[in-house]
Amino acid sequence: FQVSQNPGCDKDCQGEFPNLVHVSAKNANFSTHFFTAASAVFGAPSIFIVKSAKPNANVTLDWKKLFDNNMYDGIKIEGATDIYGLSYLSIFDFRDPSDNSDLSIARKSNESFQEYYLTQFEYSLAKVDFTPDPDTGLIEIHYRSEPRRRHKLLKDGGHIEVKASLWIFIPTKDDEIERLQGGLSFRSMISFHGLTILHPDSKLGVGVALFSNISLSSSGDFRESKYLDDFDGSGRNRDFFVHLNEESSRSFVLEKPFEFPPNQTTPKTTSQTMVLFRAGATGQLQDKSESVSVIPGPQSPLRPNQKGRLSRSLAKAIYGRNVDQNFQTVRKIGKKKSTPIGIRLQHFALAAPGQLSAKYASW
């Protein structure tokens, strides 16, 4: 494995504080590449995994493209088959005097619903581990919002933090670490510190954008679905299973991967990894001494103004122009046609009075 910060970025580039971290891990048959970022260059705090069919895949970062208004293909990974991840797109609050926390209704009809996009903040890279912890196999990366750009949520000196924990290897048979599949998984946490909100009876929460290049359905992203391929001319169906918000604590098995036959880019037959997004059912209040339930809202496509928040984003740099495409009904995929990118936004509310959550909450 190798950990690098802003690789290939010269002195002038470093002065822009892109805050990009790249972690590469090699296997005998493939390589895995973690990318994390939060900055004016890469937008909202984001974590992505790219799996390549090549153990020694070339990774190219074109900083000229990354600083350009058009970031397409600023990051290219040779032989990439799987690209998935998440972005913390927003923090929201809404008045909830009845304490029912119905996010679907609040987003549509609650006039007090306010969404604050995390692209509006500046960030610093507070911590990056260049070697994994020998006991846990973890590398940790921390981002923190900075007060240089004034924002109403932070006007009283508050800040937010986003932490990513990457499993580089599985050091023990501990069920949790085993379940999270060392080298293919990450855990992330966002925390609020002294935020300023308008109403004491508000609910506070987070909007998370989920990304995957596996999905084809405009309505079934990240859920059990079916993949239709025509790469070998047979047009046969291949099934894959992706579960979102699975509440069971038992291990999940990465089963029934679908395979791509050899081609010029990937000389070996390669398979894609199933994507599971497991949202924590509880958060913490009062400096982790008190638990609070986390209420998930429905998934939805990004609205045009929300998708505009990806104009500078890690997703745009990695996916390229595919991140802009809309879903169309697809019955057959030709060899030259790109797979649509599954993008969904999901809101999660903390079931606690907003003032408590704003003072300190982590999820």
pLDDT value of residue 326:
53
Distance between CA atoms of residues 333 and 329, nearest Å:
11
The predicted structure's pLDDT at residue 254? 33
Q: Taking the chain (363 residues) in consecutive chunks of 10 residues, what is each chunk's mean pLDDT?
A: 90 86 85 92 94 90 91 92 90 84 76 89 94 84 85 87 82 45 74 89 91 58 38 40 35 36 42 66 83 86 86 93 61 48 86 89 93
Q: Are 349 and 297 in contact (CB under 8 A)?
A: yes
Q: How far apart are CA 356 and CA 74, in angstroms?
A: 41
Determine the distance from the C-alpha atom of residue 77 to the mean position of all C-alpha atoms in its chain, rounded to a whole number.
18
pLDDT of residue 272: 54
If we measure between CA atoms, which residue out of 291, 19, 278 comes closest to residue 162? 19
- Give the chain's domain count: 1
Confidence (pTM): 0.81
pLDDT the model gives residue 285: 92
Q: Where are the alpha helices (DSSP H) in 81-159?
A: 103-109
CA–CA gap between residue 11 and residue 99 (Å, rounded): 52
Q: Could you give the C-alpha distances from 292 to 126, 159, 174, 362, in angstroms and in order?
A: 27, 20, 26, 10
Residue partners of 156: CB distance under 8 A and separation at least 6: 194, 196
- Residue 149's pLDDT is 65
The set of residues, in sequence order, having a beta carbon less than 8 Å from that of 116 and lying 6+ positions away, is: 90, 91, 92, 151, 152, 153
The pLDDT score that the predictor gives to residue 90 is 95
Range of the domain at 36: 2-362
State residue 47's pLDDT score.
95
